[in-house]
Structure 1
Amino acid sequence: METQLIIKIIHMCGVALGCAAIFIRAFTLFKGTQGNLPNPAGRKFFVAMQHGSMTLIAVTGIILLFMKNFDVQPWFYAKVVLFLALLSSLSKAYKKDDTVLLVQRRAGLFIAAVALIFIITLVIIKPVFG
């Protein structure tokens, strides 16, 4: 198989793993919360799963970008900004600080979910600007 195709498959597996991690970890904000903190059950596994998938997505994305000689479409920049918004809102949602209210955590999760949906939509549609 072609190297770029293998990296693309690994990238998409990372995306699927990331979607699953975000979806599964979201339940910790709704069941078994302790004050303003998420449910600690399985925390280490979910954190490792989410961090691993996001790292895999970033690394394989950079490799694919390098393999394409940084020749990208204009929608790619929107995808990068949305990915950064996704990471930022997830860090807000799961910050280990009890001063962050549960409502703020859920809002961060909602923003992350919206960013993820828009990223996937951008990849599927591949809009042409201009």
Structure 2
Amino acid sequence: MVLIAFHSSTAGHVKLHALANWGINPMLIEDAVLQRCAVTTLIYNFFGKTRFPEYAEAWYRYGISTHDFSRIDLVFDHGLKTGICAHAETRQLMRHSDLCNFVVKVRRQFMRAFEKHEHSMLGIDMEA
């Protein structure tokens, strides 16, 4: 369980933010609110990836953290390099997992809604 929690809060977490960056393109978004959200997401993700290791080092140096996570960037990079695992057979888990069942059903509805409104979401990738 500790390893799952560590992965979810480090390598997996950074990968989710990378997917968010992939899903947006503020240069193509015409709606001012969506564009502001896209830019905010990009900036937040940039600083999280580039500055968090510096914060971790300072927290350790000043005694705020008992562990030195200044090289957490290596974990982030590892997570990004692993890519997205093939998940074509996810549907087979639906009957065994309420969460999987829910996510697969919501995804289908999301895709339909996205296609209906994709003209107003230029530069946003539905798969991301």
The verdict on a shared fold, with TM-score over 0.5 as the criterion, is: no
Structure of higher CA gyration radius: 2
Q: TM-score, normalised by structure 2?
A: 0.33
TM-score by length of 1: 0.33
Q: By percentage of residues, which structure has more helix?
A: 1
Higher RCO (C-alpha under 8 Å, 6+ residues apart): 2
